[in-house]
Structure formats: structure tokens, C-alpha cells
Amino acid sequence: MPLVDPGPIIAQAHAQGRAIVGANVSTVQMVRGVIRAAESTKRPVLIQFNRSGVELIGGVDVAALVVTSIAADSAAEVALHLDHAHTLDELSQAINAGFKSIMVDGSTLPYEQNTTMTQSAKGLVAWSGLPLEAELGHVAGNEAGVTIGEASWTDPDQAGRFVQATNVDWLAVAVGNTHGGPAIGGLHIDRLRAIHEAVDVSLVLHGASGLTDEELASAVELGVAKINVGTSLHQAAASGIGTWLQESPRDLRGALLAAEEAVFEEASSLLSSSWAFGN
């Protein structure tokens, strides 16, 4: 089916105390694997590209064409999201290419500069009606395509002011989660609860690959309506390729298909989680 608007889906998930998987991908095979999983589990999914993923697949126009084409041959509800953009130009390119939601990431900037940047991004997307995600506090770790600095946890009081000042649609929070690996010390549930009480928008949790299913379920109960996963999907793809090439070192086509199958299995597991929104 055609790409869908993720705004109503995430709003519905939020209202029902569930969450949508935001699957960060980099290759055609990863796109195919995730969309196949969404169709198999009958769960909606956001296909997401950060800067590294966009570069690897060949640019935002290619990313949009690939996802649109594969989704058109599927019964799954698929949206296309730009993750961790740092400039208004990146946002404009994604909007023009056909992305259905976008994220501006000023999380490494001082609060005032992050607010100003997000306000500018909101003004940019106003004509398109696309949902805008921003990040307050900073999720650290190690992930290609993401600007990593020292972790700074989201302040609940600042979160309330930030959402009011920017009118952002979704707020990504830093509450112990980590890009690219396991969270150190687990999620800060009390902090997340305070943020949930301070804002009236859907929350987003980045760095979910390192969190337990129980932690994710707890986060969803506290207003998280989009859960981003990239590392575990990329690790699955790499493992599929590596295992295949050990047996057939010259069979690249087979290795790529093995990567797709491994991503399908990992994405199917995520989308089948008790907290995942869908039928």
C-alpha cells in the first residue's frame, strides 16, 4: 500500500498505551526485511534513515523511492521517517523527497539554541503538515550517523517548557537509554514518569536495542509511543551475511538474502512484543 501518515498511528498508539517500532535501516535488504516483518505480524512500522543510512543507500530521493516501491507491494502500514537531521536543508530535502515525518536533533546544543532550532524546523514543516520530532537532553552511545556527545538526561521541567515553546509533535528523551549498546544502569523510570506528567505529546525512546522487553513495556506505560531500534537490526544483517559467507564465500547474492532474512526475524520479534501497537 502507499506510504502512510505516521501522525494518527502514533497518536492512536499513545492513546492505547502502546508504541510503534521505528526501524533504522541502511540498505535495500534491511528495508525489505522490516516491511516483510510488518506485513507478517500485521503491525505498522516506521522505516527510518539517519545521516549514515541516507548516505549508504544513495541519498534521500533513493531512500524514498526504495521504501515507497517496496511498501507498494506490501499490505503493511509503512511510514518513512528522517532521523537525527542537524540542518534545515536536510529537513527540506527529506520533505521534498516524500518522507512522512522528520526529526531535528539539536540535543547537543544549549537549551536555548535547541529551542530556537526546533522552532525554525517547526516553521519549515508547517506547510507540509508533517509530524516533527525533536530531542531534549542527549542520548549518548555509539551509532553511525548520530552526533554523539556526553549523555545529559532530560529535565522534566525543561521538557514542559520546550514542548510549549516549540509545539513539537514528538519528544525524544534521554532517560538512561544509549545509542548502539546496552543502557548503563537501566532506564530512569522516575525521570520518565515526571516527563510524562510534564508534557502532553508522545515520547520517543532512542537506543532501544540495549533495553529489556520489561524496560520497554514500562517506558510505553509512561507515554513512549515510538521506540527506535537500529543496532540490533544492523547486527542481525551483519550476522546473516557473515554466516552465509563462511559457507559460500563467493555468493554475495545469497549473503544479501541471508541478511534480509535475519532482519526479518529480528524485526518480527520486535513487532510481536506485547507493547507493540497493531492488530
Helices vs strands, H then E, count in the chain: 11, 8
- Exactly one of 83, 105, 155, 169 is catalytic; name it: 83
Strand partners, 193: none
Residues of the chain with confidence (pLDDT) below 70:
140-151, 177-185
Q: Name the burial class of residue 20, with classes exposed (0-12), middle (13-18) and buried (19+) by CB atoms within 10 angstroms of its CB.
A: buried
Rounded distance, CA 186 to CA 59, Å? 35
Rounded distance, CA 86 to CA 42, Å? 33
The yes-or-no answer on residue 83 being catalytic is yes
Rounded distance, CA 258 to CA 260, Å? 5
Per-residue pLDDT at 145: 43
Per-residue pLDDT at 104: 97
Per-residue pLDDT at 147: 47
Per-residue pLDDT at 183: 56
Per-residue pLDDT at 146: 46
Rounded distance, CA 96 to CA 188, Å? 38
Per-residue pLDDT at 91: 96
Per-residue pLDDT at 184: 60
Per-residue pLDDT at 64: 98
Name residues whose C-beta falls within 8 Å of residue 96's C-beta, 6 or more positions apart in sequence.
none
Contact 130, 100 (CB under 8 A): yes
